[in-house]
Structure formats: structure tokens, C-alpha cells
Amino acid sequence: MPKIQIATRESQLALWQANEVSRLLRENHPQLTVGLVGMTTEGDRFLNASLASEGGKGLFVKELETSLLANKTDIAVHSMKDVPYKLPEHLGIHAILKREDPRDAFVSNDYASLDELPLGAVVGTSSARRECQLRAIRNDLKIIPLRGNVNTRLKKLDDGQYAAIILASAGLKRLGFGERIREFLSIDHSLPAIGQGAIGIECRDQDQATRDYLASLHHPETALCVNAERMISTALEASCHLPIAAHAIIDQDQMNLRALIGDPETGTLICAQHQSHVDDWQDSCQQVVTQLLANGGESLLARLR
């Protein structure tokens, strides 16, 4: 009987994602046996430190990729927003599931919306992208770093360390915490992270049998949008700690691609947008990158790096 071993982090959200992929594989291929191999990554070991200082979000996928290259596992399941734009040789993202809600979520026990927060309120977020966009809306807020898994972050809020926290809607919904969301932040106010809300499946390029199994899970529209967003990251050579956002939406045969680079010190946002036919998505990416760099992004990126 054919078997697929899934490499996964051991956080609650990562296990939910791996189990969802396992369920879909078994549903589509009843002959398959699917097992999970839990791993603790470098990113999990540094939950109280800045990701940028420890090496970036790639720390969440490194061990999983090592197991793939060593043939110890067959696939690795990732949140696409955690996947660096450069992948190891011989590995690729060979399926992307239909995207969950990509928006950021405002979570608070005392306030119904971002606008209701009092002057100087303490807000928690782990993301430079979110921080610079928050400063552009409310430069009076005191923004404090917030690390840890979803449960840990919610507990810190409940313990009174923050007036509000900003999290990804997708993770909250997947873990059954959707009722904790007080407000969904519009993409006009908080452009999502590249790949936010999408689950990707990585495997060895030469493992055609596994790739054939994964084909039934692939959602082409989500994949096209995520690939466009990731092309922005690639073109800007963006590491995860840089405050860069990109989000693509397809409506019929049109792709609307938006991106920004933010200055976390001033809250200044350099924004770009382009709409094109889906067949011209790569040209649209180039148009957006050109706009960003021409409007001051080149010098801002040089300073941030």
C-alpha cells in the first residue's frame, strides 16, 4: 500500500494544516496511508526572540526541508507566508490549497475596533509589515512585539499585557477562534503578507508519484495569486523581516495586484497597484515592482537592509 510521510512543525496550527492535508489526500486517494512526522524547528526554539535577529521565517521550514532532502519524509506542509522566496535545490512547492481569508484580524477583549482604541493603547504584533501599516492609521498607538503560537498570543492578551493584538484571520479560523475576531482589517488598511492564508505543500522535484497525488489538492487560482505575490518578494530580494506586503485577487479573467513597502519608523507607505489579464500576470508583477522602486522603494529598502 502506498504511503506518504508528512513533515510538520508541532505547533497547534501547523498540526491542523498537516492533518487537513492528510485528510484531503486520503479522501482523494483511499489507497494511500498517510503519516505525520512532527519536528521542532529553529523558529520554534526562538519564540521569545525577534525573527529577524535569529534569521527570519525560513527558520520555520529548514528542518522540514532537510528531512525531505534526506528522503526521511515525502512532503512538508507550510503556511505560504513562512516560505522564503528561495527554495533549496531539488525542492519545490508542488501544490497550494484554496486560500482561507487572507485579512489581518483585530482581536481585543475590551474594544470592538481599531478606531475604538484609546490614545496610546498598547497593541501587540510580531510583524513589521503590520506595524508600519498600523502607524500609518494610528501613529499614537504603542506597538509592542508579540511572539509565540496563536494560543500563547491570545493568553498574553487575556492576561492584560495588550489592549489588542493583530493576528492572521486564517489561523484563528482554522483553530476555532473565529469568535475572538472583533474586526477584519480591510486590505486597504492592512495589506496582507505575501501568501497569507494559503497552505503550500513542498516535495522533491523528482518525486513524480507524490506530485501526482498532490495534483488533486492544487487550487490553480490561489496558486496563481500566491506566485504573483512571491514574484514581488523575489524581485525585491525581500527577507521576511522587511515590511513588504503583496496581495493578488482574480476577478473573472483579471488579476488585481497590490504591493507596498513600509517604513516602520515613520509609518510612511510606498504603494503600487496594477491590473491585467491573468495571462499577463508576470508583466503585472514587473509593473508593480517598477512603481515601488521608482516611488522611493529603492532607497527605503537600502536603508532597511
First-to-last alpha carbon distance for the chain, in angstroms, is: 50
Distance between CA atoms of 259 and 287, rounded to whole angstroms? 11
CA 297/CA 85 separation, integer angstroms: 19
* Sheet of strand 244-251: strand arrangement: 244-251, 254-262, 269-277
Which residue, 192, 169, 214, 176, is CA-closest to 259?
192
Residues 6+ apart with CB under 8 A from 17: 8, 77, 78, 79, 174, 199
Assess contact for 84 and 240: CB atoms under 8 A: yes
* DSSP secondary structure, 194-235, as one string: TTTT-EEEEEETT-HHHHHHHGGG--HHHHHHHHHHHHHHHH
Q: Under a CB-based contact definition with an 8 Å cutoff, are residues 79 and 128 in contact?
A: no
Instruction: Identify whether 280 is a catalytic site residue.
Output: no
Q: Which of 44, 74, 82, 263 is catalytic?
A: 82
> Sign of dihedral through CA atoms 160, 166, 171, 173?
positive
User: Active-site residues: which are they?
Assistant: 82
